[in-house]
Structure 1
């Protein structure tokens, strides 16, 4: 299924890019921009972004690295923990 018509990116392309990035660096935070760059392309109109992100989320290897999962729980500046 084509996800990005402007750059001709398929759901399989996205899955392969995410899998490749995760295999090459298990601690990396994978973003849509990084997926575009891994595919040698860049976003054009942005109309595909919701479907692009849904396609990324469907990838088994797309997870937030363990050390970044608790960032929302970190005390803010001036707060005590």
Structure 2
């Protein structure tokens, strides 16, 4: 699946990059800019960054679950925390458009 239309980056490429970064240091902070830098790309419109953040969180949780040997209850679910923060502090605008915006 194509995640970034500006740079033609697929979901699989992003996931592989995240895993390679985690293999280097499992506890480093991974952000979209770091993923794009590793892919030798740069964010242009940055509209894909929210999806990349969710992919980073999902892949990181799966990675730590596979490699830690801990039970499911012991692993903190960061994705739920990020979604809660988005609902609490998130912008009322999406891509700088107001809710009632019409394209035509």
Q: How does the TM-score come out when normalised to structure 2?
A: 0.55
Structure 1 position 55, deviation (Å):
2.0
1:14-56 CA distances to partner (integer Å, 9 max, x unpaired)? 1101100000112311111110011111100011112222222
Equivalenced residues, count: 64
Unmatched tracts of structure 2, length 5 or more: 66-104
RMSD (Å), alpha carbons: 2.1
Q: Which runs of 4+ in 1 moved over 6 A?
A: none
Determine the structure 2 residue equivalent to 1:40: 40
CA distance in 1, matches of 2:53, 2:30: 11
5+ residue gaps, structure 1, are 64-81
Structure with more contact order per residue of length (Cα contacts < 8 Å, sep ≥ 6): 1
Q: Please, what TM-score do these two structures have when normalized by structure 1?
A: 0.69
